[in-house]
């Protein structure tokens, strides 16, 4: 698919239609008995950045709307648990911001676009959480869902190799590299490739099959290299944090036999990781080392490691101080920043945006997002991915807001409860 779209980019939209049609057929023909809506939502989540970079999406927020649509369809078949009621309140707390945006936004501002851009991500998160909260499934099904997320990320990576086969030809200092990111936003590309890196890492620990492990290890190297050469650090560092958390929890839950196998496996992964970094360093003539050391091409330390994000957060916190109860309204922060600083820039931090645009209701929403998963964890510790997925969500929304569906959908997957697959009992007669 990656090669096909590279050769005939105009077919990208038709592929998206085929993908949606295929998953709708699977859902409707099987009545969503095995949570096929999560397979569909997962695949669309992984496909989102690829469809944007290749002109294959129907609107900027299409993937988030599609994820919401699939999961709502799933609710018609299988509903959602009563214990997920905190996320109903979370969705309700988002509503006042819509009213205040209609009142406060400038006359010539497209209110619908402003609300869609800023609220599609939080609503997608709320629907994902509602559907997934304490939903019981065997571990193999969760692995199938993660594989559905991973497959289009492999497509994306293949496309990137064809788009820029030579990284050296695209190097322009230590700034984020758009050419190495398929001509699209390096931040979002690195985020989804980092997610692919983490999924592959977790598969290496959980799947007990040497051939599959070998394939996953090669894919890990394949995707990691392209993720690193975007020169966008957020997605890669997030993947590393998620992997460390997952490794710690897996170790604590493992028995003696599994821990013995873990040591040589981690040694192999660590060696592969060092090799990938060395190859990347050589390919970028050492610029990637300077990027992660917060240096420019000349080796000088940059003053702002956040690349301007701290200043954006400060203006959003000031806006919250000015309107602590109601907030500015959804989408108003962009206009507020232009009025106070003269700069036109969208937010990169979802937490400060929630405070500035939703006020007190934003605080209530954030409290639900932080504490509802922890309460579930106290009752049910079956999902090894919970803290890693929460970390992916939290770290991603702090450097990239909710531009893409991935943090919203992955947050929801962390709320799934894992049960043992039912065994078929055979009746033996004398």
3-state helix, strand, coil in the chain (%, to 5): 70, 0, 25
Q: Is the pLDDT of residue 101 over 80?
A: no
DSSP calls for 105-167: S-TTS-HHHHHHHHHHHHHHHHHHHHHHTT-EEEHHHHHHHHHHHHHHHHHHHHHHHHH-S-S
Query: Which residues, 6 or more positions from 156, have their beta carbon under 8 angstroms from its beta carbon?
Result: 2, 46, 49, 50, 53, 182, 189, 192, 193
Using CA of residue 270, residue 255, residue 202, residue 265, what is the dihedral sign? positive
Q: Is 411 within a domain? A: yes
Q: What is the pLDDT of residue 161?
A: 95
Q: State pLDDT tens for residues 12-46.
A: 999 999 999 999 999 999 999 999 999 999 999 99
Residue 428 lies in a domain: no
Would you say residue 430 lies in a domain?
no
234-276: pLDDT as tens digits: 999 999 999 999 999 999 998 888 888 888 889 999 999 999 9
Residue 426 lies in a domain: no
Has residue 424 been placed in a domain? no
Average pLDDT of the residues of the chain: 89
* Mean pLDDT (whole number) for 41-68: 94
Residue 429 lies in a domain: no
In a domain, 220, yes or no: yes
Helix (H/G/I), strand (E/B), else coil: 301: strand
Tell me how far apart the alpha carbons of residues 397 and 315 are, in angstroms, rounded to a whole number: 17
- Residue 157 clears pLDDT 60, i.e. is over it: yes
Residue 365 has pLDDT above 60, yes or no: yes
Q: 268: which residues sit within 8 A by CB, 6+ positions away?
A: 217
Name, in order, each residue with C-beta under 8 angstroms of 379's C-beta and a sequence gap of 6 or more. none
Of the two residues 424 and 236, the one the predictor is more confident about is: 236
Q: What are phi and psi of 417, to 5 degrees?
A: -100, 135
pLDDT per residue as tens digits for the range 105-144: 665 666 677 778 888 999 999 999 999 999 999 999 999 9
pLDDT, residue 308, reads 67
> Is 145:39 a contact under the CB 8 Å cutoff?
yes
Q: What is the pLDDT of residue 302?
A: 74
* pLDDT at residue 429 is higher than 60: no
What average pLDDT does this structure show over 299-323? 78
Q: Is the Cα torsion angle 57, 59, 63, 66 positive or negative in sign?
A: negative
The residue ranges of DSSP E strands in 165-284, in sequence order, are none
Residue 172: inside a domain, yes or no?
Answer: yes
pLDDT, residue 78, reads: 83
Q: What is d(CA 356, CA 119) in angstroms, rounded to the nearest whole number?
A: 14
Structural domain boundaries, residue 330: 2-419
When divided into structural domains, the chain yields a total of 1
145-160: average pLDDT: 97
Closest by Cα among 182, 152, 184, 178 to 164: 182
């Amino acid at each position: 698919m990656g090669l096909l779209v590279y050769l005939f980019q105009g077919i990208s939209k038709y592929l998206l239609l085929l993908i949606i049609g295929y998953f709708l057929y699977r859902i409707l023909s099987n009545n969503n008995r095995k949570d096929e809506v999560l397979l569909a939502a997962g695949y669309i989540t992984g496909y989102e950045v690829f469809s944007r970079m290749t002109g294959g999406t129907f609107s900027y927020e299409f993937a988030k709307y599609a994820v919401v649509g699939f999961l709502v369809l799933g609710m018609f078949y299988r509903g959602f648990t009563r214990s997920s009621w905190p996320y109903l309140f979370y969705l309700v707390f988002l509503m006042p911001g819509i009213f205040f945006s209609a009142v406060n936004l400038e006359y010539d501002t497209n209110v619908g676009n402003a609300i869609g851009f800023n609220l599609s991500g939080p609503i997608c998160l709320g629907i994902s959480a509602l559907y997934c909260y304490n939903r019981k499934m065997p571990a193999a099904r969760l692995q199938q869902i993660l594989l559905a997320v991973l497959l289009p990320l492999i497509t994306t990576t293949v496309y990137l190799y064809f788009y820029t086969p030579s990284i050296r030809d695209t190097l322009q200092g230590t700034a984020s590299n758009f050419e190495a990111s398929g001509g699209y936003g390096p931040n979002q590309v690195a985020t989804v490739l980092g997610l692919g890196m983490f999924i592959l890492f977790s598969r290496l620990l959980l799947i007990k099959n040497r051939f599959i492990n070998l394939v996953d290890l090669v894919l890990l190297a394949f995707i990691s290299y392209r993720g690193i050469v975007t020169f966008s650090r957020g997605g890669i560092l997030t993947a590393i944090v998620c992997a460390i958390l997952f490794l710690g929890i897996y170790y604590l839950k493992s028995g003696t036999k599994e821990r013995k196998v873990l040591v040589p496996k981690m040694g192999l992964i660590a060696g592969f990781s060092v090799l990938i970094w060395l190859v990347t360093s050589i390919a970028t003539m050492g610029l990637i080392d300077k990027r992660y050391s917060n240096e420019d091409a000349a080796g000088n330390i940059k003053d702002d490691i956040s690349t301007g994000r701290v200043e954006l957060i400060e203006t959003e916190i000031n806006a919250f101080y000015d309107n602590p109860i109601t907030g500015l309204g959804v989408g108003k922060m962009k206009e507020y920043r232009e009025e106070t600083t003269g700069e036109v820039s969208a937010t990169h931090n979802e937490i400060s945006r929630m405070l500035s645009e939703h006020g007190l209701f934003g605080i209530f929403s954030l409290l639900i997002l932080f504490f509802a998963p922890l309460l579930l964890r106290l009752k049910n510790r079956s999902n090894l991915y919970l803290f890693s997925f929460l970390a992916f969500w939290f770290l991603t929304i702090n450097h990239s807001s909710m531009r893409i569906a991935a943090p919203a959908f992955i947050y929801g997957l962390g709320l799934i409860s894992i049960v043992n697959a039912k065994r078929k009992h055979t009746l033996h007669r004398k």
